[in-house]
């Protein structure tokens, strides 16, 4: 498009969009209350939000980014006009370069929006059967069912990643709560000391009949520590997924704007890479986690579900009740056999804690950070994510 035409169209578009949202409602500096009314076609989102927004674009990262770019082109046009009026050819050349960067950012924005639309509407529905990501593939009664559209059956990838994380977090919570209860029972039972004294205390004995249970307390402590670490990893994953949308609304428009300016190009590229990485790659990795572990962890039958759905290791932690009856221990045999059972307890717990809840979330983050570093480099920014990887 001719530069001069765009220079006219951009400010007109900006003014049209801004006309709906600026100046009609504003915060009174004295009272802090909102004053003014919104014009036709716009609304005030809440009484405490002093702004008018057109109904169709509020919160949309594509429109916010486009608006910022149009504003930028508007400013570039003003500067170009000044440079022309003052007959400064070198400045004109520089401004044309900035204009080209703004156009590249605009093209990137359109490409990203198209790609996301294609993934959600074409790619995922088309490949859902191949990758086992249809409604019939997820266990009944799990949170993941809510990620599928009840009519079309199409999966919302971000919702699926969140619900999968919620399912794993729930299972971990149950494991931890059960083990906490068992630890208290075992501790109490193992401390019971029975004593008997005769002849005024000259003769007697005392015995701790369940003291051998003390030997298992270290194992329980270790397990609880590991479950604590696993809960942290899954909660962090849930937080990152929760914030992915926020990154997209906040960081992407800002990144697109900064990337279009010469002196903030690197920072803009980094912001774009971070937003895209956490919005696109991170949920994708979480969905891949589900495909990886579903046959080991999830089963379709929920009839005998203990933790909301059935999984292979459903019997990993039994409903135990270790107690004492003065001189005798009760329930200790089942407890000991559970704790020392390699196939039914040790391996399942190791799988749940180390693979499902610690290794996979860390791998997801590492892959995402690797993508962010590569993508930032691809769009002209060099960032060092080594420190973040260390935090992960």
Q: Please name the residues in contact with 105: beta carbons below 8 A apart, sequence gap of 6 or more.
A: 69, 256, 259, 260
- In the block, residue with structure tokens 């400013």: 75
The SS3 of residue 36 is coil
Residue 9 or 159: the one with the smaller Cβ distance to another protein is 159
Minimum gap (Å) between residue 162 Cβ and another protein? 12
Taking CA atoms, 5 is separated from 14, 179, 271, 355, in Å, by 14, 70, 31, 58
Rounded least distance, CB 346 to another protein, Å: 17
Judged by DSSP in three states, 29 sits in: coil
Shortest reach from residue 152's CB to another protein, in Å: 24
Q: Where are the alpha helices (DSSP H) in 59-134?
A: 61-85, 89-118, 124-127
161/223 Cα distance (integer angstroms): 26
Least distance to another protein, CB of residue 184, Å? 4
Question: What's the closest the beta carbon of residue 287 comes to another protein, in angstroms?
Answer: 22
Q: What is the radius of gyration, based on Cα positions, of the chain?
A: 30
Residue 67 CB, shortest distance to another protein, in Å, is 11
**CA pair distance 4, 143, nearest whole angstrom:** 54
- The nearer residue to another protein, 11 or 54, going by C-beta atoms, is 54
Tell the smallest beta-carbon distance from residue 199 to another protein (Å): 8
Token pair recorded at residue 300: 């379709």
| 23 Rama sector, left if φ>0, alpha if ψ -120 to 50, beta otherwise | left
Q: Helix, strand, or coil here: 143?
A: helix
**In the complex with another protein, which residue's Cβ is closer, 188 or 355?**
188
Residue 323 CB, nearest approach to another protein (Å): 11
Beta carbon of residue 106, minimum distance to another protein (angstroms, whole number):
21
What's the chain's length in residues? 392
Residue number, 301 or 325, with CB nearest to another protein: 325
Helices 217-259, 89-118: axis angle to 10 degrees equals 140
> Which CB sits closer to another protein, 29 or 151?
29
Cβ-based nearer residue to another protein, 2 or 387: 387
In the bound state with another protein, the residue whose beta carbon lies nearer, of 250 and 320, is: 250
- The tokens describing 43, both together, are 């609304």
Q: Report the phi/psi class of residue 325: left, alpha or beta, with left for phi > 0 and alpha for psi in -120 to 50.
A: beta
Residue that is written with structure tokens 């190791």 in the block: 350
- How crowded is residue 111: how many other Cβ atoms within 10 Å of its Cβ? 10
CA gap 372, 374 in Å, rounded = 5
Taking the least distance from each CB to another protein, the nearer of 197 and 295 is: 197
Nearer of residues 135 and 389 to another protein, judged by Cβ: 389
List the one residue out of 229, 260, 129, 234 whose CA is nearest residue 171. 234
């Amino acid at each position: 498009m001719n530069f001069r035409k765009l220079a006219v169209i951009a400010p007109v578009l900006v003014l049209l969009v801004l006309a709906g949202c600026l100046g009609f409602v504003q915060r009174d500096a004295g009272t802090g209350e909102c004053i003014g009314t919104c014009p036709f076609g716009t609304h005030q989102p809440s009484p405490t939000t002093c702004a008018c927004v057109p109904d169709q674009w509020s919160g949309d990262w594509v429109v916010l980014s486009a608006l910022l770019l149009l504003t930028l082109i508007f400013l570039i046009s003003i500067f170009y006009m000044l440079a022309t009026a003052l007959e400064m050819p070198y400045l004109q050349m520089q401004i044309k370069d900035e204009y080209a960067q703004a156009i590249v950012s605009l093209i990137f924005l359109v490409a990203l929006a198209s790609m996301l639309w294609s993934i959600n509407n074409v790619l995922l529905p088309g490949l859902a059967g191949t990758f086992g990501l249809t409604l019939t593939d997820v266990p009944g009664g799990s949170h993941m069912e809510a990620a599928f559209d009840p009519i079309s059956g199409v999966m919302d990838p971000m919702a699926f990643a969140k619900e999968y994380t919620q399912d794993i977090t729930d299972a971990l919570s149950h494991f931890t709560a059960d083990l906490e209860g068992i630890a208290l029972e075992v501790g109490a039972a193992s401390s019971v000391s029975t004593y008997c004294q005769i002849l005024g205390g000259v003769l007697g004995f005392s015995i701790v009949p369940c003291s051998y249970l003390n030997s298992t307390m270290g194992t329980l402590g270790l397990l609880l520590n590991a479950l604590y670490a696993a809960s942290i990893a899954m909660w962090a994953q849930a937080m990152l997924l929760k914030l992915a949308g926020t990154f997209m609304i906040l960081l992407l428009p800002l990144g697109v704007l900064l990337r279009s300016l010469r002196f903030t190009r690197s920072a803009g590229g980094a912001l774009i890479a971070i937003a895209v990485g956490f919005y696109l790659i991170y949920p994708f990795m979480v969905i891949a986690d589900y495909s990886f572990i579903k046959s080991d962890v999830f089963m379709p039958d929920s009839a005998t579900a203990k933790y909301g759905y059935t999984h292979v290791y459903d019997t990993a932690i039994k409903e135990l009740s270790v107690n004492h009856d003065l001189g005798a221990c009760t329930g200790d045999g089942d407890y000991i056999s559970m704790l020392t059972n390699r196939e039914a307890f040790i391996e399942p717990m190791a799988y749940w804690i180390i693979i499902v809840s610690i290794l996979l979330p860390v791998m997801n983050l590492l892959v995402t950070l690797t993508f962010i570093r590569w993508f930032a480099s691809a769009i002209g920014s060099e960032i060092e994510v080594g420190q973040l990887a260390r935090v992960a």
